[in-house]
Amino acid sequence: MTRILFVCHGNICRSPMAEFIMKEKVRKLGLAEDFYIESAATSTEEIGNDIHYGAKTKLRRENIPFSRRGARQMSRGDYARFDYIIGMDSYNIRNILRIIGSDPEKKVYKLLDFTSRGGDIADPWYTGNFEPTYRDINEGCDGVIERVRGR
């Protein structure tokens, strides 16, 4: 089983979108039992809060099922629990490394590292625009699946 943790600043926009997009993708491929997928925050700002209404709206429009959840902060112990720890931007990566200390097993990536273009995923909490965020996350999740499947 491949265990993936998606991480963003607050765990209410980008990382839960990635969690539920990825869950739906692997379900459609018949691979749901081969993956364990969660999301978390690097900060404590939104702990316990549900997914941002804009993220929920976008997921509904794209027919991506999701469930109510409370944001959580990642911990040092997550490093041992997950095979991939995937941040949304460079700031997230710095904070992930601050939390876990180091990455000797090379588990930490940015989501767009799994695409041909790389880069950061814009935070829709600031932009208010969930469309480009959704497109980037969708593309990144496709790349993660390809990497895990060895393609």
Which residues carry out catalysis?
8, 14, 123
Give the contacts of 40 (CB within 8 A, at least 6 positions apart). 5, 6, 7, 11, 15, 71, 72, 73, 74, 78
Distance, CA of 12 to CA of 47 (rounded, Å)? 9
Give the contacts of 36 (CB within 8 A, at least 6 positions apart). 1, 2, 3, 4
Cβ neighbours, 10 Å, residue 44: 11
